[in-house]
Amino acid sequence: MNKREFIAAVAAKAKLPKNEAAEVVNAVLDVIANTVATGEKVSITGFGSFEQVHKPARAARNPTTGVEVKVAESWAPKFRPGSDFKELVNVTGRQVANR
């Protein structure tokens, strides 16, 4: 599902016009992204949490040449699914696999 399909699904579920659903989806995504970018955690009970993680500088090896390269430190977003979300995916995944 891409963003356009996601907005259409939200519009159908919430019985909203697509343009209003797009505004809501974009606002939610902006709030999550901006909050995580400032280092705060966003937790949505039952769904999951979004947070920022630090990846320290490290040495890596180019698999083709074997030459060691330095990888700079970075910060990255991380998502951890909540228990309700995990259970839904587990149950639905089993149903799809058994078709």
Per-residue pLDDT tens over the stretch 74-89: 999 999 999 999 999 9
Burial readout 24-56 (b: 16 or more C-beta within 10 A, e: otherwise): ebeeeeeeeeeebeeeeebeeeeebebbeeeee
Provide the greatest CA pair distance for the chain. Answer: 56
Q: Over the stretch 40-68, which tens digit does the pLDDT of each residue have?
A: 999 999 999 999 999 999 999 999 999 99
On whether the CB atoms of residues 88 and 95 are closer than 8 A, the answer is no
Select the CATH number that applies to the domain covering 47-99 from these four: 4.10.520.10, 3.40.30.10, 3.40.50.720, 3.30.565.10.
4.10.520.10
Q: How many residues does the chain have?
A: 99
Question: Measuring CA to CA, which residue among 29, 54, 55 is closest to residue 44?
Answer: 29
Q: What is the pTM of this model?
A: 0.81
**Domain boundaries along the sequence of the chain:** 1-38, 47-99
